[in-house]
Chain A
Amino acid sequence: MTRTHHLHPFTALTAAVGAAVVTTAAASWPLSAAVAVAAAILAVRGGVAGRVLSAAAVILVPLCLSLLVLHGLFFPEGHTVLAEWGPARVTAEGLEFALELGTRTTACVLVFLLFSFTVSVPDLLSALAARRIPPQFGFVLASTLTLLPAVAGRLDRIRQAQEARGMVVRGGLLSRMGTLRLQMVPLVLALMDDAGSRAQALDARGFGNAGPRTSYRDVADSTAQRRFRAAALVLTAAAVVARLVVSWPAGVTR
């Protein structure tokens, strides 16, 4: 699909984590905005812009609005008052704080969403299995990602079946809770029953056994990518250490 397909999943993950951590450590809104824009450009070039940006908008719009209202209107630490209505004071410091945190969260969310929407999950799983990550982690990740769409379909079928038996999704709170129960109990029961049979099938295939795992998939890795990952980790660690040293609490409280 894109060039990200040639990237080892860990390279993309390291880059995403590194970008997020460095952005957090740097604490400067121009850098955060630049990272966010870069992530958006990469998403457009990767052909996942629609999904990344819509998922990010759902998360970020309420958060940023809330930050703007909270710090824009109520920031007792602020000194430069721009406007005042009763208890609410618009201060320059408050707006700057909202801008800093808003851009920082935006950058981190975009970077991680770009990673999760471009990574090939099978590649990621075999890369995880090749490392000393417990195989159970890979199972939980893969199983959840495949279960989510299946459950949405199942819930739809349960709703239809209950509606065929006379369930009406309208009315007051109590009747709403009643219809909720009619849908939740069959869903939970069916999912747990499925899980039980899945556990038996997995155990029969030796899933619970200790020891190393092998994988059919071989994820291509290269020396350049290994070097990039090492460099990114060193850079990230340096950024964290620099931030910790610069603003160690003794220096903050003065």
Chain B
Amino acid sequence: MSKPALTVPAPGQAAGRSRRLLEIAGAAAIAATYVFLVLTQPADIANGPASFSALVALGGFLLGAVLLIIAVLPVLPTSTLVLIPVALVLNVVLGQLMGSTGLPFYIDAIGTVLIGVLAGPAAGAATGALSSIVWSFFNPTVLPFAAGAALIGFLAGMAARWGLFRRFYFVPIAGFVTGIIAGVISAPIAAFVFGGTSGLGTGAIVSAFRAMGDTLLAAITKQALISDPMDKAIVFTIAALLAYALPRRTTFQFPFVRRFRVLAGKSPAAPDA
């Protein structure tokens, strides 16, 4: 105890590297699980309720989500961390509000996308995964989709980093692409863990593809390719509208927004030209 620490020790280089490794391992676990599931999908699901694939899907995707959380969560600044509960609440409450307009979409990631845009891909991924875990306290069926939710937050952050949120017309496109990727990754969960989707509209689309003789995974993937891109385009648009509606003073307090000039316009500190 020769030198008492009066200040917070800066995270060392080694800690940073191991976190990066954890992040990569988490992403690799999710990707490998998906590839494995698609390659080994049971040719004849009538032989049993896809129990093997369900276990692999649950284990691989949850492992990936947990690794991402462990890697990202301890290094998030407090100002970002306190937004994660807000994001989760927004996911739920805004989803319910949108539902009250009678639109046929299942909009449940607005908060995750908003955090991804304001605080970056890592924060977005952690928010998505944590949202699923905390929300599973009330609805356990969202837990298996944690990896997909993390992917949505991550891709929203990457889109913001590449400047797609500076121009309004790029936002739905970014959402559309995110929807394609996230929908395809989440399809094995819907197929093998739940054996279908829970909505009537989505269920009808899956039924149509099944009637044409598709395998369950193929039918659900095609259904996801129909509904998810549209859904995420709307979610991204709403999140962008919210980000634009927020005062500069609020949005520019995020280092990510300042550093990558996520939103068009000058920092409020800069004198107006």
Instruction: Give the Cβ gap from B117 to chain A, nearest Cβ, in Å.
Output: 12
Whether A193 sits at the interface, judged by CB under 8 Å, is yes
Per-position binary interface string of chain B over residues 126-159, scored 1 when its CB falls under 8 Å from any chain A CB and 0 otherwise: 0000100010111111010000000000000000
Contact of B195 (CB < 8 Å), options: A97, A141, A248: A97
Question: Does B101 contact A173, Cβ atoms closer than 8 Å?
Answer: yes
Whether B194 sits at the interface, judged by CB under 8 Å, is yes
Contacts of B11 in A (CB 8 A): 210
Question: Does B77 contact A208, Cβ atoms closer than 8 Å?
Answer: yes
Centre residue among A66, A152, A243 by max chain B CB count within 10 A: A66
Contacts of A202 in B (CB 8 A): 78, 82
Interface size class of A (residues with CB under 8 A): 35 or more
Tell me the nearest residue of chain B to A247, going by C-beta. Answer: B52
Question: Does B195 contact A180, Cβ atoms closer than 8 Å?
Answer: no
Question: Does A145 contact B137, Cβ atoms closer than 8 Å?
Answer: yes
Contacts of A26 in B (CB 8 A): 51
Contacts of B73 in A (CB 8 A): 134, 136-137
Question: Does B242 contact A252, Cβ atoms closer than 8 Å?
Answer: no
Contacts of A113 in B (CB 8 A): 138, 140
Tell me the nearest residue of chain A to B15, going by C-beta. Answer: A210
Count of interface residues, chain B, beta-carbon cutoff 8 Å = 77
Contacts of B52 in A (CB 8 A): 243-244, 247-249, 252
The interface-forming segment of A4-12, A40-48, A104-112, A220-228 is A104-112
Whether B207 sits at the interface, judged by CB under 8 Å, is yes
Contacts of B42 in A (CB 8 A): 249, 252-253
Question: Does A112 contact B136, Cβ atoms closer than 8 Å?
Answer: yes
Whether B84 sits at the interface, judged by CB under 8 Å, is yes
Per-position binary interface string of chain B over residues 165-207, scored 1 when its CB falls under 8 Å from any chain A CB and 0 otherwise: 0000000000000000000000000000111111110110011
Question: Does B200 contact A66, Cβ atoms closer than 8 Å?
Answer: yes
**Would you list which residues of chain B between 63 and 82 have a CB under 8 Å from chain A?**
69-70, 73-74, 76-79, 81-82
Whether B13 sits at the interface, judged by CB under 8 Å, is no
Contacts of B247 in A (CB 8 A): 189
Contacts of B264 in A (CB 8 A): none
**Given the complex of chains A and B, what is the CA–CA distance between A139 and B86 in angstroms?**
12
Jot down 25 A-B pairs with beta carbons below 8 A, ordered by A: A65-B200, A66-B197, A74-B211, A76-B211, A93-B46, A101-B196, A104-B49, A112-B140, A136-B73, A141-B134, A147-B85, A151-B89, A173-B101, A176-B102, A180-B98, A184-B97, A188-B90, A189-B246, A191-B90, A194-B86, A195-B86, A196-B82, A196-B250, A199-B81, A252-B52
Chain A residues packing against B (C-beta within 8 Å): 21, 24-27, 55, 59, 62-63, 65-67, 69-71, 73-79, 87-88, 93, 97-98, 100-102, 104-105, 108-109, 112-113, 116, 134, 136-137, 139-141, 143-145, 147-148, 151-152, 155, 173, 176-177, 180-181, 183-185, 187-189, 191-196, 198-199, 202-203, 207-210, 240, 243-244, 247-249, 252-253
Give me 10 other A-B pairs in contact (C-beta within 8 A), A66-B198, A97-B46, A137-B69 excluded: A65-B200, A67-B195, A70-B195, A70-B196, A105-B193, A113-B138, A140-B84, A148-B92, A199-B78, A210-B8
